[in-house]
Amino acid sequence: MNIKELLLNGQSFLALLNEFAIEAKDINIQDENVLLADRNLAQREIVKQTICIEGKNEQGIFNFFGTLHCNLLSKLAVFEMQGFEQVSLRAS
């Protein structure tokens, strides 16, 4: 299972990326390996976890904070954003 791929299957996550002019290749789900290595996660059908997604565009780096809702049986994932921050700007 790859969380990024599951999220990219949903139209709402793609709309979020488009709103911030971020391409799918420029996102990183922080601690994704830790989430996937969790044995308790593998035993559950539905996962609800607080995560941070880092995205980059020409204006800088954005951190999106929210909750990942993931149905492992159906291979569906939704990101419920609670907030974001811009952490760096590129010099002009």
pTM across the whole model: 0.84
Return per-residue pLDDT of the chain as tens, 92 residues.
588 888 998 889 999 999 999 999 999 998 887 777 777 766 677 888 899 999 999 989 999 999 999 887 888 899 999 999 998 765 55
Contact 52, 68 (CB under 8 A): no
Contact 3, 36 (CB under 8 A): yes
Domain boundaries of the chain, sorted by first residue: 3-89
Architecture of domain 3-89: Roll (3.10)
d(CA 11, CA 90): 29
